Structure 1
């Protein structure tokens, strides 16, 4: 069985949960790095990771690389890869380059050199060259440059994996699906346990939790980049899809609740739940967070409070946080509460002792996941 090397980028802070997930999906030689996880496996493991990973952003196939301190060395590294073995000349391509401390001046020019190398290899071998499509390419090539190396990857995912295919309506800057799934995993919430998001916005936590509860593969309704590669065997892919479908639980009402004070946000959540095939699975309610009450004796509260960019928003949030602390104290004994926020004032202003503070990144924005165990009489800070 042929084994290849892959790299799965993810939101920073989720490397540990992604490594555990890849282990369950049959990956080997798993190593975490900042912002992702390297692993080994065959084509089937790669397809399974694309279909089932809740936490990865992409699955990148490591093709090779080498020393790289100049554009000429980058061109040489890219020319050393047998591109026609990987995909047909009729496929359109796009090259994307990222770098940390690379001496190369322009990432755009670096991408251009790689594209030239790919086209030159095809021209020498087949007399033809692939076309570039920056909007919807068949094949995406990724390069990662450091101070003295270049590594080249083929993107087996196509569109990013957090694009599950269900999102219809969004409020401002919704949480990415893989980050929401990772927060649910870090909270310790288990399918079947009561869950409430009292500031649910467009419903990302609700959809991800319901999909987990019904054991649905996140990639079950979408297509992937690997379907355009030469090594793709449709029959093997259909088998993986059939196995995933057979493992699903039928849609039914779940102990998952969402509420929001804004009617348009709830309408978005309702449309997204419907698009995800989850109508009737999650209960929605229009109410202010402070009016929410426990729907069960114990469970998990998880939410992403609005992050104030304008000064008047920040003042309103500074008033809200102590009231949130009082609300948890008065009504949520027996529950565990998790607030994901980029507003680090919350920890101080909520006036409760956090049992855990997990650093996470929402894109480049540094955030925290604050955990509060609501035991009767025990959490109030003096």
Structure 2
């Protein structure tokens, strides 16, 4: 039996997420700003959390109804068969939100829904209710109550921690890019998985690890657990089968094809440790190097992808220059036949007489408006 789900993503990457959902068997796919709605069986739902690279969370659509006052919201929340999903062993945090509705007080919406959920167990079923908590934490079940034009939509988060928290990045550096964003940009870059991938500002190694996992088909959820594993209807044998099938599709990297460089020795150490935790250290060469000395690390042409330090100035030639400008010059001079994928703030337009730049997508990264550029030699 299919149910309705909603997978969230960074606005701008709905197409990539929709393609992923379709590939694992999602049906009746509908793209909306910031996510994708879809129908799925239990197996496909488990696969969504385990295998989607561009999703930040996956929600189960629990119930939808009209609510024009708080008693109506309370009664309709209370009538739902919450015991199919939750039990007295769960801890629940309710988050309310409203838009263009009679009920606009988010805290009162949260309290009302939590009250209805608790009394469904205690008064209607005469059993212990989930604990309703005031502050969310890693072990809590998140219930969303969203009202729009007096229609209330109740959703239950199935992921727990955000899906970009793969489990391998234990060593971070300043301004890391999220794993889900890195995966989406790698997909958009046109990088061919059998060809080299190079990050000259590798930081904690996010592009390298995500690229290696893309190439060897390792599921992004392979090192973590999920909130749905604490649901009352969790099916352990089905989940074990989903994981086993996913791991059977994984294959090892056969040669070094991933190269990371950074001028900061702490970043190099962090990237190496993260690559080790992710199980890709054997196919990733990571070393300290200044961008002013950037050269192709191998004979075969591939893709250079970078999220450079935007404001940092480095000395080269006659004086200080921006790091991304030095990268562009080095790429133009030394990387014939390669692709360049570059993430820059929206107020920067890259240019070089030997390169043809194409703006691929605009979005917000860490609160900064950015543009993703693709370039090749003329």
Give the TM-score taking structure 1 as reference length. 0.89
Q: Do 1:138 and 1:228's aligned partners in 2 also have CA atoms closer than 8 Å?
A: no
Judge which range, 121-130 or 173-182, deviates more. 121-130
Judge which range, 16-25 or 105-114, deviates more. 105-114
Are 1:269 and 2:271 an aligned pair?
yes
Q: Do 1:197 and 1:257's aligned partners in 2 also have CA atoms closer than 8 Å?
A: yes
The residue that corresponds to 2:57 in the other structure is 58
- Residues 327-342 of structure 1 mapped to structure 2, 5 A cutoff: 327-341=330-344
Judge which range, 28-37 or 277-286, deviates more. 277-286
The residue that corresponds to 1:199 in the other structure is 201
The residue that corresponds to 2:78 in the other structure is 79
Q: 2:257 aligns with which of 240, 255, 258?
A: 255
Q: Do 2:346 and 2:369's aligned partners in 1 also have CA atoms closer than 8 Å?
A: no
Are 1:156 and 2:158 an aligned pair?
yes
Distance in 2, Cα, partners of 1:27 & 1:305: 36
Distance in 1, Cα, partners of 2:295 & 2:59: 44
Give the TM-score taking structure 2 as reference length. 0.90
The residue that corresponds to 1:173 in the other structure is 175
Distance in 2, Cα, partners of 1:307 & 1:77: 51
Distance in 2, Cα, partners of 1:323 & 1:274: 30
* Cα gap change, 1:323 to 1:103, in 2 (>3 Å): farther
* Cα gap change, 1:71 to 1:332, in 2 (>3 Å): farther
Q: Do 1:200 and 1:258's aligned partners in 2 also have CA atoms closer than 8 Å?
A: yes
- Residues 213-224 of structure 1 mapped to structure 2, 5 A cutoff: 213-224=215-226
Cα shift at 1:155: 1.1
The residue that corresponds to 1:356 in the other structure is 359
Cα shift at 1:272: 0.7
Q: 1:187 aligns with which of 189, 192, 217?
A: 189
Larger strand fraction of residues: 2
Deviations, residues 201-220 of structure 1 (Å, cap 9, x unaligned): 00110110011111111111
Deviations, residues 102-159 of structure 1 (Å, cap 9, x unaligned): 5644423322222111112111233332213422334221223334322111111111
Cα shift at 1:160: 1.3
Judge which range, 21-30 or 77-86, deviates more. 77-86
Distance in 2, Cα, partners of 1:65 & 1:77: 9
Q: Do 1:66 and 1:77's aligned partners in 2 also have CA atoms closer than 8 Å?
A: yes
* Cα gap change, 1:111 to 1:43, in 2 (>3 Å): same
Cα shift at 1:338: 0.8
Q: Do 1:68 and 1:148's aligned partners in 2 also have CA atoms closer than 8 Å?
A: yes
Cα shift at 1:350: 6.0
Judge which range, 23-32 or 121-130, deviates more. 121-130
SS of 1:178's partner is: helix
The residue that corresponds to 2:27 in the other structure is 28
The residue that corresponds to 1:136 in the other structure is 138
* Cα gap change, 1:321 to 1:239, in 2 (>3 Å): closer
Are 1:304 and 2:303 an aligned pair?
no
Q: Do 2:360 and 2:371's aligned partners in 1 also have CA atoms closer than 8 Å?
A: yes
Distance in 1, Cα, partners of 2:254 & 2:166: 21
Distance in 1, Cα, partners of 2:69 & 2:331: 57
Q: Do 1:175 and 1:204's aligned partners in 2 also have CA atoms closer than 8 Å?
A: yes
Q: Do 1:71 and 1:104's aligned partners in 2 also have CA atoms closer than 8 Å?
A: yes
Size of the alignment, in residue pairs? Answer: 369
Q: Do 1:65 and 1:78's aligned partners in 2 also have CA atoms closer than 8 Å?
A: no
Cα shift at 1:101: 5.2
Distance in 2, Cα, partners of 1:365 & 1:100: 26
Deviations, residues 222-269 of structure 1 (Å, cap 9, x unaligned): 111111112211111111111111111135433111100100011111
Are 1:44 and 2:22 an aligned pair?
no
Distance in 1, Cα, partners of 2:254 & 2:162: 29
Distance in 1, Cα, partners of 2:279 & 2:75: 49
Flag structure 2 segments of 5+ consecutive residues without an equivalent.
none
SS of 2:12's partner is: coil
Distance in 1, Cα, partners of 2:182 & 2:249: 22
